[in-house]
Structure 1
Amino acid sequence: MTTFEFMLPYYGDVGLMQDAVRSVLAQTDPDLRLVVVDDGKEPEVPGWFESLGDHRVRYLRNERNLGITKNFQKCVELSEADQVVIMGCDDLLHPHYLETVRALVEAHPGVGMVQPGVEVIDGAGVVTAGLADNTKRRIYAPNVPGRRLMGGEELAASVLRGNWLYFPSICWRGEALRAVNFRDDYSVIQDLALVVDLLELGEQMVVDNTTTVFQYRRHAVSESSVQAFSGTRFAEAERYFAAVAERMDARGWPKAARAARFHSASRLHALTMLPGALRRGHREGVRTLARHALTPGQRSTV
């Protein structure tokens, strides 16, 4: 039987992490492994995992803080299973997540990625639908009323135009994931970069909207939004989109190259962040956000 592994790179709120772990262990399909890689120092966490007494759980604490990208890379390197989920430490699985995704994998042997049905929750766990997620679904996500296999330039252009995927919910074919891993030079846009890298290698994705099986937690204030007000994440995005556009041109994927150069969703996001940056007095952030929002089509300098 195909093996499934949930990798949990952890740093942050203890209670939310514990809820995430419980949601994994409550799966209707119990054939799984959970590996937690703790990048923090909360004193009660190791004892809590020991108290679970569940042979499916492996808990590791880093000797020193690695940061987001390095800890994600470590999770990929430690993974061993046929199918791997890199779950957010504050997200939640519905009880039938694994049962549903296993059926999709078995129906599409060898598929590189599975994007199952997702709903968004806020910091209190209440299902919500804010501007960002409504924009994802109504403007950028493909119209898939049921289930669809996507790949190549079609999917690359779609996600480069606007990244409508929910990365922590995706199930990855382990062999493909371990062969590519996350890039060292990105800290915010690394999920999009990983998907595009896999598409360039010929991997495909099953998009399934028939059943909601994952709860993605969107907080009002997060590390990414703090970076957004300062403009940091958009400086990184500019660099990525310029470089990947040239790769798409070289590959003969002109629609994907145009989507990368225009990166409309990223520019719209920067525009919505401008008022907050102005209120906070982030002068450099305002300049970065304005440039990103109003100046598409930058060429790579690397």
Structure 2
Amino acid sequence: MIKLRPQPLRGRPTVSVVVPCYNYGRFLPDCVSGVLGQEEVEVDVVIVDDASPDGSSVVARRLAAADQRVRLIAHETNRGHIATYNEGLAVAEGEFVVLLSADDLLSPGSLARSVALLQAHPEVGMVYGFSPTFADRPPTPRTTARSWSIWPGLEWIEQMCRRMSNPVSTPEVVMRGSLMREFVGYDKRLPHAADLLLWLRAATRGPIGRINGADQAFYRKHGANMHVEMFAGVYTDIAERRRTFDILFDEDSACFPDGHQLREVALRSLAREALVTMCQAEKLGQVGDEPHDKLVALAAEMCPPERDPRLWRAYERTQTRSRSGRGPVVPRTVGRAMADLGGRIRWRRWRRTGLMSAVGSL
């Protein structure tokens, strides 16, 4: 990875922003206004309403009538999010393309900052940045890019395989239109992880760029706090990411001279995450309805004990202690504090570098 000093944008490049919408009519005006207010680029907006029952299409028609840069595709029946994404992307004509959910927001100057990197480095296919989360009102954005990071594509994929955390939220991504059209959008086989596959495939075609120091978009979080969400849907999430990497290494094998070895790294990282997450949940008393046996079986399938004895011995020690009724080594209140601290450290590293650390230890 190299870091570079940002360069100014040249001319007024075109950017198409696709806004999929389902029951987010109340958020549409702010979302679209933030796009149309982007400076130094020529933008057009494609709203795709997936038969929202909340009247989103009425709001979208009003926005399209008020500005010729906005157009609407309205579904008569619900087709699901992947089909909605891809229909909008199929008609995006800009040199650069963004997929922005109707409940998220771009920060001021976001598109100009990203496109400047893509202009200066035509070998880069995709740029991302940092997207703060918000609930009601977004925080005051940082709007000055401190530096650019550029990873060779295979190096970025290797980082994903080792860390096994998707560092990209989605609203901050700007991709070359030619690359998006090559991929024909998002893969419908992966309803929960199609975005991750798209980022990985972009990295098979060329370097990945990141804007450092500025907030590129705002990702809206709905409802639940971090402790409630932390261990929810772990099995589905890990199984879906496993399928993502299987598809990548099976169908893009020509891009990987050491694909077998890299696949093993990815599977081990996923297995480790499964075991670590389950042990953390037990330590904090937050196992809930998560299918423990299924998760452990999935981990064993991806990384059998004989392949990584140390990992499995550490897991067994934790389980033996739990089964004997001795509970966690430290009190749960201390465990929660340690988990919170670890989460903050990971968050700060992600904000600074664009990469997340792997999950904690057993």
- 1:236-251 map, 5 Å: 236-245=240-249, 251=256
1:80 equivalenced with 2:93 (yes/no): yes
CA contact (8 A) 1:151 1:204 kept: yes
Residue 266 of structure 2, aligned match among 248, 260, 264:
260
Distance 2:223 2:275 in 1: 18
Distance 2:45 2:265 in 1: 37
Residue 174 of structure 2, aligned match among 171, 188, 209:
171
Report the CA distance between 1:172 and its aligned residue. Answer: 0.5
Distance 2:23 2:110 in 1: 24
- 1:1-302 map, 5 Å: 1-29=12-40, 31-42=42-53, 44-52=55-63, 53-116=66-129, 118-127=130-139, 146-160=147-161, 161=163, 162-180=165-183, 181-200=185-204, 202-221=205-224, 228-229=232-233, 231-245=235-249, 251-253=256-258, 256-264=262-270, 267=274, 271=278, 278-279=287-288, 281=289, 285-292=291-298, 296-297=302-303
CA contact (8 A) 2:96 2:177 kept: yes
Output the TM-score relative to the length of structure 2: 0.66
Partner SS, residue 74 of structure 1:
helix
* 1:152–1:29 CA distance, 2 compared to 1 (3 A): closer
Report the CA distance between 1:248 and its aligned residue. Answer: 7.5
CA contact (8 A) 2:268 2:302 kept: yes
CA contact (8 A) 2:15 2:95 kept: yes
Deviations 1:6-60 (A, max 9, x none): 0011113322333222211222336200101011323533332333311110111
Partner SS, residue 27 of structure 2:
helix
CA contact (8 A) 1:176 1:198 kept: yes
Distance 1:78 1:273 in 2: 44
Unaligned runs of at least 5 residues, structure 1: 129-143
After TM superposition, the structure 1 stretch with the greater mean CA deviation from structure 2, 286-295 or 53-62, is: 286-295
Distance 2:50 2:231 in 1: 20
Superposition RMSD in Å:
3.3
State the AA in 1 paired with 2:120: A
RCO (CA 8 Å, sep 6+): is it higher in 1 or 2? 1
Report the CA distance between 1:269 and its aligned residue. Answer: 8.3
* 1:168–1:278 CA distance, 2 compared to 1 (3 A): same
State the AA in 1 paired with 2:265: A
Report the CA distance between 1:230 and its aligned residue. Answer: 7.5
Partner SS, residue 169 of structure 1:
coil
CA contact (8 A) 2:105 2:171 kept: no
* 1:68–1:51 CA distance, 2 compared to 1 (3 A): closer
State the AA in 1 paired with 2:106: L
Deviations 1:214-267 (A, max 9, x none): 112233449xx6995373333322333345456687622356434322235853
Unaligned runs of at least 5 residues, structure 2: 1-11, 305-362
- Whichever of the two has the greater Rg, that structure is 2
* 1:193–1:119 CA distance, 2 compared to 1 (3 A): closer
CA contact (8 A) 1:273 1:289 kept: no
Identity of aligned residues (%): 24
Distance 1:78 1:65 in 2: 19
* 1:146–1:29 CA distance, 2 compared to 1 (3 A): closer
Deviations 1:163-183 (A, max 9, x none): 212222110101111111222
CA contact (8 A) 1:229 1:277 kept: no
Distance 1:104 1:199 in 2: 16
Aligned length: 276
* 1:245–1:60 CA distance, 2 compared to 1 (3 A): closer
CA contact (8 A) 1:242 1:260 kept: no
